[in-house]
Structure 1
Amino acid sequence: MYAAFTLFVFICLTATTHADHHQPCHAPNMTGFMTALSLKGEVKAFGAFTYDSMGKKLRFRSNESHPVNTSVGLDVLMFFDKGIFYEIDLKNQSCEKKTLQCTQHPLDIPDDATFMTTVNTGNPSIEGEGLKINAWTGSMPDKKGKYYMAVTMECLPVSTFYFYESSSFLFSLTEIDTEIKDPDLLMVPSICLGQPLEATPEGTVHSFLNEFM
C-alpha cells in the first residue's frame, strides 16, 4: 500500500501537463473494494462498493466482507443526481436521510479535470506485469484542496489522492468488476423509507469525501 501511495504521489508531483486534447472519461458500472488511507498511514476505512455510473448512485459498506482495524465505519447510499444520501445502520435498524451538498467522489473524473500525463507502471513488455494509466488533476469545489486521479485506459479508477491543508488521504480501488452484481444494494432500504430529510447545521458540508475527514 505504501509503495503504491509513494508511486502515485511521485507521478502527480513530477508529471507535466500535456496539450489539452484529452477529454475526461466516465467510469462504467462497477463493484469492488475501496480503501481510504490517510497521509499518516492510518487506514480510515475499507469495504465493498457498488457504483451505478448512469444512475449516479453509490453504496459503500466498510468492514462488511473483510473486517480490518479502521477508524471509520460506514454504510452509505448516495444519490448524486438527487442531492441526498442515507447513513444506514442495519445492526441497529436505523437510518438518517441527509442533504448531499458536494457530489465529488473517487469513482469518476470530474468534467473540468485537467489531463496530466500517461504513465506505464511496472514492466509493460512483460504480459501481466505492467499497467498504463492516465493521470488527471483539478481543484476541489470549495477551492481549498486539489485532487489527483489515476485511471486505466478503459477509465477504471485505480487511485485518487485528495490534498487539503488540514488533511490528505488516498482512495485505492481493487478487485474491480464492471457490473452491478447486486442491484438491491442501490435501492433505499425499508428502514429508510419515509425518513424525513434532516436539517444541515450551518457550516456543515455533506459529501462522500467528508465522511472520511
Structure 2
Amino acid sequence: MRALLLLTISLSVLLGVLTQEPQPCKAPPYLEGKLLVVFPEGKTLVFEQFYYDAVEQRIRVIAHEQDSTHNVFVDRLLLFRERFYYEISYHNKSCTKVPFSAAFSPIEIPIDAHHKAQFVIGSLSAPAQGLLVNNWEGSIAEIKANYSMTFTEFGCIPVTILYSVEKTGHIVSSFFDIVIGIENPDIFIPPSFCTSAKLVERKPGEVADFFRALL
C-alpha cells in the first residue's frame, strides 16, 4: 500500500511538471564527473575525470586508456582566459603550454534554443526508476554548427550534447557520475614543475579550438 501511495505521488508530481513549459537553463557553475566524447572519424576518448569551472573559465580533463597498440594518457588543464592549456605528465614531471583560440562555452541551453521534447530516461513503473529530461535543438552561427542537447529537468545537469560542425562532423559528449561542486579546488592549479613551461609555437590550423585541444 505504501509503495502504491509513493508511486501515485511521484506520478502526480511528474504530471505537474509535464504540464509546464520547460525553459532554457544553465548547469551549476562547478561540476566534476566522467565524460565520454566521440569525435569525427570514430575517435573516442573516455575521460575518467573532468572538472568544470564556469566562473574562472577553466576545465581539466584526465584520461587513461589502453588499446591494442599503446597506452593513452591525457591530463590537460585548459585555461580559456589565458588562451592556452597545460599538457601535464606526472610520470616524467614535464609540462607543456599549448595555445588555442576557442572561446569558453558554458554548459547551458542557449536562450534561443528550441524545446523539442520532454521524456523519461528509464522507466515510469516505480519511483526512482526514471530520469526526467528535456531535449533542445538550435544552431550557433559563429562556429557554423547545429546542436542537440539533453539536460535533466531538475538541476539542469547535462546528459548528452551533440554538435554537428560544418567541415568537421559530429561531436557527441556524454556525461555521467556528475557531482555538483569541486571537491578539490587545487585541481585547477598546475603542478610546480609547470612553472618553467614555455608556450610552444602553434602551427596554422593546429589546436585552434576546444575539441582539438581534447584530442
TM bucket by the smaller chain?
0.7 to 0.9
**What is the match of residue 8 of structure 1?**
none
Q: How far 1:159 sits from its partner (Å)?
A: 1.4
1:79-100 per-position Cα deviation (integer Å, ceiling 9, x unaligned): 2233222111221222111223
**What is the match of residue 194 of structure 1?**
196
1:160-211 per-position Cα deviation (integer Å, ceiling 9, x unaligned): 1222344323211111111212222111221211323333222334333113
Q: How far 1:141 sits from its partner (Å)?
A: 6.4
The runs of 5 or more residues in structure 1 that have no matched partner are 1-19
**What is the match of residue 172 of structure 1?**
174
Distance 2:148 2:73 in 1: 25
Matched, 1:56 2:57: yes
Contact 1:34-1:48 within 8 A present in 2 as well: yes
- TM-score under structure 2 normalisation? 0.72
Matched, 1:75 2:65: no
Contact 1:84-1:99 within 8 A present in 2 as well: yes
**What is the match of residue 35 of structure 1?**
36
Larger strand proportion of the pair: 2
1:116-158 per-position Cα deviation (integer Å, ceiling 9, x unaligned): 2333222235212211112233445653433322111211111
Distance 2:190 2:164 in 1: 32
Matched, 1:115 2:114: yes
The runs of 5 or more residues in structure 2 that have no matched partner are 1-20
Greater radius of gyration (CA): 2
Equivalenced residue count is 190
1:134–1:40 Cα change, 3 Å: same
Matched, 1:145 2:145: yes
Distance 1:189 1:39 in 2: 32
1:37-88 per-position Cα deviation (integer Å, ceiling 9, x unaligned): 346765333321122232221110001xxx4549964211012233222111
Higher alpha-carbon deviation: 73-82 or 202-211: 202-211
Q: Moved runs in structure 1, 4+ residues, more than 6 A? A: none
Distance 1:45 1:21 in 2: 31
Contact 1:35-1:46 within 8 A present in 2 as well: yes
Contact 1:35-1:45 within 8 A present in 2 as well: yes
Contact 1:28-1:156 within 8 A present in 2 as well: no
Contact 1:104-1:209 within 8 A present in 2 as well: no
1:156–1:190 Cα change, 3 Å: same
Alignment RMSD (CA, Å): 3.0
- TM-score under structure 1 normalisation? 0.73
Letter in 2 for 1:92: N
**What is the match of residue 95 of structure 1?**
95
**What is the match of residue 213 of structure 2?**
211
Larger helix proportion of the pair: 2
Distance 2:84 2:173 in 1: 22
SS in 1 for 2:212: helix
Letter in 2 for 1:201: K
Contact 2:102-2:209 within 8 A present in 1 as well: yes
